[in-house]
C-alpha cells in the first residue's frame, strides 16, 4: 500500500525535532540523568550541560549568558515577563501597553492583569498589521511601566519595527518586552541592537523539543520570581531544570543558525512563489500581513465565500496540513482577533488559511498545494449560497485583491 501523502505546512504551530537535536538530547535521558542541583559529579555534568547551552543560546542572540533564563515554554516566558514585571514595578505605575495582535499568551496575561487593577492599552495596527510608532509615543503616560509588542506575528507573519518601538519606550524610561517566539531562528535577533529589556523564545518553533523555552532578562531589570521553590535559575525560576530539553534547545538553535542564510533564502523563494501563484490563479482572495515585512516562512490568505474550517479539512484529505489561524486558537469559532484587528470583516476572517513552510518544504510541495487549494476552493464555492448570490449579481464582492 502506498504511503499517504503528507505536506506539513504548519511550522508556526510546531516544527519537527531535527535528528541532530534528538542525538544531542539522548544522553541526558539515559546516561547523564543527574539532577543539576546535586553536588556530586554526576549532577555537575548536567549542570555543566545547562551552562554550556545557556552560553550558546546567549551567543546567538548577542546576549550576556547570565541574562538567559530557562522556562517551560513561550507561554511561561510571556507570562513571566508581564506578570512578574508588573508586580515589581507597581509602585511606579499600573499602566501597560501592548498591541491588538498579540498571541494569547500575552492577551490573556494582560486580561488577567486588568482584573488585578492594571490598565492596559492595546495599540491598533494598520491593514498590513503594522504598528505606527507614533501611536506608542502618544500612548505612553507617566504611570506606564511596560510595553510588550510581538516581534513577528504568529498568524499573519508581519514584523514590527521593534528597535524603533523599544527606543520610544526607553526615551520615556519604560521597559520593553518582545514576544519573539516566532522570530527566534527565523530572523536575526540581536538583543543589544534591538535594545529590548526582555525577549521570549520557545524551542519547539525552531526544531527543538516541546516543553522548553527561555526569557532574556537584561541585567538590572527588576523582576519577581515567577515560580517559588528551589534556587534554580539564580533564584528567579524554581524547578528542576529540563536538562535534555535545554540541551536540545541549544542544539536546535545552533543547527538553525549554522545554515540560517540558505534556509531563509529557500523559504522566501517558496513563500513568494506560493503567494504569487494563489493571488494570480484564485479569484477573490486577499493576502493578510505585510507583503515584504513578514516572516520568511509565513503565508496567510483569505478566500472569500469559503469557510476556513472546511478548507482545512478538505486540504487535509489531499494531504496538506495547514492552519486556519493560531493553533492555540483553533477549536474556537470566534474569528481570529488578529484578522479582525487588520480590518477584515468576520466572514472573510473566517475564510483564512495560514501556511507556514520549513526548510524541508520543496517547490513540488508548493505546486501540489496550490493545485489542491484551487480545486478545494472551487468545490467549496460551488456549495456556497453566498457565492451563488454573488455570481447571480445579488451581492457585492468585498474589496479583496
Ligand atoms: N507567542 C507566540 C508568538 C507564539 O506563536 C506561541 C505559540 O504558538 C507562543 C507565544 C506560545 O509558545 P509555547 O507554545 O511554547 O507556549
CA of 172 to the centre of ligand 1 (A): 29
The rounded Å distance from CA 74 to ligand 1 centre is 5
CB 98 within 8 A of CB 121: yes
Average pLDDT value for residue range 314-325: 92
Q: Is the dihedral of CA 240, 245, 249, 251 positive or negative?
A: positive
What does pLDDT average to over the chain? 94
Radius of gyration of the chain (CA): 22
- Catalytic, 151? Answer no
Span 95-120, average pLDDT: 98
For 19-258, CATH number out of 3.40.640.10, 3.40.50.720, 3.40.50.2300, 2.60.40.10 equals 3.40.640.10
Cell 542525538 sits on residue: 23
Using the mean position of ligand 1's atoms as its centre, give its distance from the Cα of residue 401 in Å. Answer: 30
Which protein residue has the closest C-alpha to ligand 1 atom 13?
Answer: 74
Nearest ligand 1 atom to alpha carbon 152: 3
* pLDDT at residue 2 is higher than 70: no
For residue 205, how far is its CA from the centre of ligand 1 (angstroms)? 8
Please, which pLDDT band fits residue 398 given cuts at 50, 70 and 90?
low
260-392 and 19-258 share a CATH fold? no
pLDDT band for position 328 (cuts 50, 70, 90):
very low
Confidence grade of residue 5 (pLDDT, cut at 50, 70, 90): confident
Q: What is the dihedral of CA 66, 50, 151, 98, to 10 degrees?
A: -70
**Closest listed residue to residue 55, CA positions, set 235, 247, 301:** 247
| 169, pLDDT greater than 60 | yes
Mean per-residue pLDDT for 334-340? 91
User: How many whole angstroms separate alpha carbon 252 and alpha carbon 254?
Assistant: 5
In angstroms, the CA 270 to CA 295 distance is 12
Domain edges within the chain:
19-258, 260-392
C-beta neighbour count of 354 within 10 angstroms: 28
Asked whether 335 and 346 are in contact (CB, 8 A), the reply is: yes
Residue 331 has pLDDT above 80, yes or no: no
Residues in the chain, overall count: 401
With CA atoms as reference, report the closest residue to 214 among 188, 252, 187: 252
The CA distance from 304 to 381, in Å, is: 9
120 forms beta bridges with 96
* Average pLDDT score over residue span 199-207: 98
Residue 193: what pLDDT?
98
Catalytic residue among 73, 151, 256, 328: 328
Atom of ligand 1 nearest to the CA of 213: 15
Confidence of residue 391 (pLDDT cuts 50, 70, 90): confident
* Residue nearest to ligand 1 atom 9, measured at CA: 74
If you average pLDDT over residues 2-22, what whole number do you get?
93
Distance, CA of 74 to CA of 213 (rounded, Å): 5
**Interhelix angle for 243-258 vs 41-61, to 10°?**
30
Residues enclosing ligand 1, CB less than 6 A? Answer: 73-75, 78, 103, 105, 150, 154, 179, 181-182, 202, 204, 213, 327-328
Q: How far is ligand 1, taken at its centre, from the CA of residue 10, in Å?
A: 13
Q: What is the pLDDT of residue 395?
A: 62
User: How far is 137 from 375, CA to CA, in rounded Å?
Assistant: 47
| Site to substitute for ligand 1 among 14, 71, 74, most atoms within 8 A of C-beta | 74
- Closest ligand 1 atom to 76 CA: 16
Averaged pLDDT for residues 357-377: 98
Average pLDDT value for residue range 158-185: 98
pLDDT value of position 202: 98
> Residues 191, 61: contact at Cβ < 8 Å?
yes
Substitution site in 154, 162, 177, 325 for ligand 1 pocket (most atoms within 8 Å of beta carbon): 154
Residue 4, pLDDT score: 75
Closest residue by Cα to residue 227 from 217, 237, 219, 235: 237
User: Which CATH number is 260-392 given?
Assistant: 3.90.1150.10
Amino acid at each position: 500500500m502506498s504511503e499517504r501523502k503528507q505536506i506539513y505546512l504548519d511550522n508556526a504551530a510546531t516544527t519537527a525535532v531535527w535528528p541532530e537535536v534528538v542525538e544531542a538530547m539522548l544522553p541526558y535521558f539515559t546516561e547523564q540523568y543527574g539532577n543539576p542541583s546535586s553536588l556530586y559529579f554526576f549532577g555537575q555534568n548536567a549542570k555543566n550541560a545547562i551552562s554550556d547551552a545557556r552560553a550558546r543560546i546567549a551567543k546567538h542572540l548577542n546576549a550576556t549568558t547570565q541574562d538567559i533564563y530557562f522556562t517551560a515554554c513561550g507561554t511561561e516566558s510571556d507570562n513571566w515577563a508581564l506578570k512578574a514585571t508588573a508586580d515589581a514595578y507597581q509602585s511606579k505605575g499600573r499602566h501597560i501597553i501592548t498591541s491588538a495582535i498579540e498571541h494569547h499568551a500575552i492577551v490573556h496575561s494582560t486580561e488577567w492583569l486588568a482584573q488585578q487593577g492594571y490598565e492596559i492599552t492595546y495599540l491598533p495596527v494598520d491593514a498590513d498589521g503594522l504598528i505606527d510608532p507614533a501611536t506608542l509615543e502618544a500612548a505612553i503616560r507617566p504611570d506606564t511601566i511596560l510595553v510588550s509588542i510581538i516581534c513577528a506575528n504568529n498568524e499573519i507573519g508581519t514584523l514590527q519595527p521593534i528597535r524603533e518601538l523599544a527606543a520610544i519606550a526607553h526615551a520615556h524610561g519604560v521597559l520593553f518586552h518582545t514576544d519573539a517566539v516566532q522570530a527566534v531562528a527565523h530572523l536575526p535577533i540581536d538583543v543589544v541592537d534591538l535594545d529590548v529589556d526582555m525577549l521570549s523564545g520557545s524551542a519547539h518553533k525552531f526544531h527543538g523539543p516541546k516543553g522548553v523555552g527561555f526569557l532574556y532578562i537584561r541585567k538590572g531589570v527588576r523582576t519577581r520570581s515567577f515560580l517559588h521553590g528551589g534556587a534554580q535559575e539564580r533564584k528567579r525560576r524554581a524547578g528542576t531544570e529540563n536538562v535534555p530539553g535545554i540541551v536540545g534547545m541549544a542544539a536546535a538553535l545552533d543547527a538553525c543558525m549554522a545554515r540560517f542564510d540558505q534556509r531563509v533564502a529557500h523559504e522566501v523563494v517558496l513563500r513568494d512563489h506560493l503567494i504569487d501563484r494563489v493571488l494570480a490563479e484564485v479569484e477573490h482572495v486577499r493576502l493578510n500581513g505585510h507583503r515584504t515585512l513578514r516572516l520568511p516562512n509565513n503565508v496567510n490568505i483569505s478566500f472569500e465565500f469559503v469557510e476556513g474550517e472546511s478548507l482545512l479539512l478538505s486540504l487535509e484529505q489531499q494531504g496538506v496540513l495547514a492552519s486556519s489561524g493560531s493553533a492555540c486558537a483553533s477549536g474556537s469559532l470566534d474569528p481570529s482577533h488578529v484578522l479582525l484587528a487588520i480590518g477584515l470583516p468576520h466572514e472573510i476572517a473566517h475564510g483564512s488559511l495560514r501556511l507556514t513552510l520549513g526548510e524541508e518544504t520543496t517547490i513540488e510541495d508548493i505546486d501540489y498545494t496550490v493545485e489542491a487549494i484551487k480545486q478545494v476552493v472551487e468545490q467549496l464555492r460551488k456549495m456556497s449560497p453566498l457565492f451563488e448570490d454573488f455570481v447571480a449579481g445579488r451581492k457585492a464582492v468585498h474589496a479583496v485583491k
